Structure 1
Amino acid sequence: MSLDTRPPADTAYTDVDGTRIAWRSQGEGRPLLMLNRFRAAMADWDPALIDGLARNHRVITFDSAGVGASDGTVPETLEGAADVAMGLARAIGLETPHALGWSMGGMTAQILAAKYGDGLGGVVLAGTTPSFAVDGATPVPDEWLNVATTPSYTVDDMLFLFYTDTDAGRLAGRSSLARIGGGDPVAGATPKTTLQTMAGQGVPTRKFFAGEDGAFRMLKDIKVPVLVANGDRDRAFAVENSVALAKAIPGAQLSIYPDAGHAFHFQYADRFADEVTDFLKVA
């Protein structure tokens, strides 16, 4: 099927260091900047999670450089992606926003927290990993990577990538994809970014995994409050990686969700939104 991937009418555009960045705002309260996963655009966030977070925060979703409705090219490092995120926050006048990063966005958020901690509140790292150079972290399985990098996704692909192979997991996955797709799970599963974006994001992600960018050395220097959260059966980043990440960040809290995979925060959207809100109240 073909999918209309044009951004909705309420999408705003702001120049960030010469690149036009697309973003959206929902809710009121202290800003919460959302950093997205590999191959995802703004439309790939589950509305249930965004609605839940927007009850207490001004939620800012955006397409980074070279992604979705934004111009430019994907930065060659995740530090570059962190610079885009903070550049947008400053350009639109966000004062000490919180940040929530999922998967690749969580890797970027680690760098954001270390580099720009003085300009942030709390940071939530969801379904993500430290560099595999960190003690206790294990690489992404090849089977998962092979599916994640296919040209297009089916509903079954998305269920494999993001949910558990249980009745509860499959039901949660289909329900989330339907919400994302406006009632159509196939539309929810369909990639909304280009293969060029995927290739561009693969470069900095591999550098991060291997520790070539040195980001893992910055974890000990993070001073902002951090919540690390994941599902107990994440096929991409095993729960041991979340444990390793929480141990590497001073004072980090750890939260693990049962019978849940890489998109645990969509499966448990209301519960996770409440947990994030409670955590950020004191950040």
Structure 2
Amino acid sequence: MTTAQTAKTQYVTAANGTKFAYRRIGTSTAIPLVTHIHYRANMDFWDPLFINSLAANRPVIIFDQSGVGRSTGEIPNTFQGWADDLIAFVKALGLEQIDLLGFSMGGCAVQMVALTAPELVRKLIIAGSAASMPTAETVTGIVWPRDQADVKYIIDLNDAVTPEEVKHTIEYTFFPEDKIGRDAAEASWNRVLERNVEGEPKNLKLVDKDTGAKVQLATFLEDWIVPNPRNSFDRLGELKMPVLVMNGDHDELVPTSQSWELAVKIENAQLIIYPHAGHGFIYQYAELVGQNVSRFLDGKDYQAIWPQL
């Protein structure tokens, strides 16, 4: 099986003019699982153990969005733009249907993909993410007012530049601040360093904080947390495909209660919370999360079996 450590980077040019860099992992002919990574990251930052666990039973496609990593173009300044970007990429690959996973800001993007092109997305996984800001002044059925992330974690993730700062910020913002968290962060980072493909040096530089990252952060602050009925929260009821929502029990970047929002507002959603974990739960529990995602993708829609329970 092609692995995250050995898969060669491929390129495809989409109708929007972007030359997308991507990798295909796994050998299965099942419906592909496409993944969208977090703020400032390119696909080299995916933990190989997590990706390989996902790819055990299906093809997994990782990619760099426009203006990130090895892809050309510019980073869109709305999550609808991120979604249009991903849809253009999938169409360029000639795929008629996919499963879709988004992590953190990638989770914001995949919600808009599923709302924009629901026929494209068979099943949706939203990891460590949140819906957009509701337009109503008060909302029932969720934690309100919303829990807010501590700005110190966002600042740390935003400011990292040097390799040492990048490693530190991922440990500090993604993992618990104790020995369990430090050990999990170190193990995950060492796995990231395992990638070794001839002619493809690892790119472990986060998106430049004064250019692309500035656009990404403004997208979140100005597009996602400013009420807009065209964004996801007011439209979550439109999502009819099965949805899996996941998070750690103490996410410092995207408060865990906002995963609960998604679970209650999406009709056909399931929620998994991982113990003693933060934003980086997908790396701390890489194999377990991969197994849970696989069970979700391979299993029946829980609503279809509800009468039998």
1:20 to 2:10 alignment: no
1:198 to 2:213 alignment: yes
For 1:61, the aligned partner's letter is I
* CA–CA distance in structure 1, aligned partners of residues 158 and 232 of structure 2: 24
Could you tell me which residue of structure 1 aligns to residue 150 of structure 2? 141
For 1:191, the aligned partner's letter is K
* CA–CA distance in structure 2, aligned partners of residues 193 and 68 of structure 1: 8
Give % identity. Answer: 32
2:280 to 224, 240, 263: 263
Could you tell me which residue of structure 1 aligns to residue 267 of structure 2? 250
The CA RMSD over aligned residues, in Å, is 2.0
For 1:210, the aligned partner's letter is V
> Does the aligned pair in 2 maintain the 1:154–1:189 contact within 8 Å?
no
Cα distance 1:46–1:106, how it changes in 2: closer, same or farther (>3 A)?
Answer: same
* CA–CA distance in structure 1, aligned partners of residues 273 and 69 of structure 2: 31
Could you tell me which residue of structure 2 aligns to residue 104 of structure 1? 105
> Does the aligned pair in 2 maintain the 1:237–1:262 contact within 8 Å?
yes
Q: Which moved more, 1:248-257 or 1:195-204?
A: 195-204
1:207-248: CA deviations, max 9, x gaps?
112234633222111111100000001111121111112111
For residue 121 of structure 1, give the secondary structure of its aligned residue in structure 2. strand
> Does the aligned pair in 2 maintain the 1:208–1:214 contact within 8 Å?
yes
* CA–CA distance in structure 2, aligned partners of residues 188 and 168 of structure 1: 27
Could you tell me which residue of structure 1 aligns to residue 296 of structure 2? 279
How much has 1:188 moved relative to structure 2? 9.2
How much has 1:139 moved relative to structure 2? 2.8
* CA–CA distance in structure 2, aligned partners of residues 274 and 174 of structure 1: 22
Alignment of 1:130-209 (within 5 A): 130-133=131-134, 135-136=142-143, 137-152=146-161, 153-182=165-194, 190-195=204-209, 196-206=211-221, 207-209=223-225
Could you tell me which residue of structure 2 aligns to residue 4 of structure 1? none
Could you tell me which residue of structure 2 aligns to residue 223 of structure 1? 240
1:177-207: CA deviations, max 9, x gaps?
1111239xxx999534323220121222121
1:46-103: CA deviations, max 9, x gaps?
0001111111111000000111111111112111111111111111122310000000
Q: Following superposition, which runs of at least 4 residues in structure 1 exceed 6 angstroms of deviation?
A: none
Could you tell me which residue of structure 2 aligns to residue 3 of structure 1? none
Alignment of 1:50-69 (within 5 A): 50-69=51-70
* CA–CA distance in structure 2, aligned partners of residues 33 and 214 of structure 1: 21
* CA–CA distance in structure 2, aligned partners of residues 191 and 210 of structure 1: 29
Cα distance 1:189–1:15, how it changes in 2: closer, same or farther (>3 A)?
Answer: closer
For 1:238, the aligned partner's letter is P
For residue 30 of structure 1, give the secondary structure of its aligned residue in structure 2. coil
Unaligned regions of 5+ residues in structure 2, if any?
Answer: 1-5, 196-200, 302-309
Larger radius of gyration: 2
State TM-score, norm by structure 2: 0.83
For 1:278, the aligned partner's letter is R
1:101-143: CA deviations, max 9, x gaps?
0000001111111111111110000011122436423333211
Aligned length: 273
* CA–CA distance in structure 2, aligned partners of residues 215 and 260 of structure 1: 26
> Does the aligned pair in 2 maintain the 1:95–1:119 contact within 8 Å?
yes
* CA–CA distance in structure 2, aligned partners of residues 257 and 189 of structure 1: 29
> Does the aligned pair in 2 maintain the 1:123–1:224 contact within 8 Å?
yes
Cα distance 1:144–1:188, how it changes in 2: closer, same or farther (>3 A)?
Answer: farther
> Does the aligned pair in 2 maintain the 1:31–1:97 contact within 8 Å?
yes
* CA–CA distance in structure 2, aligned partners of residues 264 and 9 of structure 1: 24
> Does the aligned pair in 1 maintain the 2:160–2:166 contact within 8 Å?
no
How much has 1:276 moved relative to structure 2? 0.3
Cα distance 1:203–1:227, how it changes in 2: closer, same or farther (>3 A)?
Answer: same
Cα distance 1:30–1:276, how it changes in 2: closer, same or farther (>3 A)?
Answer: same
Could you tell me which residue of structure 1 aligns to residue 256 of structure 2? 239
> Does the aligned pair in 1 maintain the 2:50–2:286 contact within 8 Å?
yes
How much has 1:20 moved relative to structure 2? 0.9
Cα distance 1:143–1:192, how it changes in 2: closer, same or farther (>3 A)?
Answer: closer
* CA–CA distance in structure 2, aligned partners of residues 34 and 199 of structure 1: 22
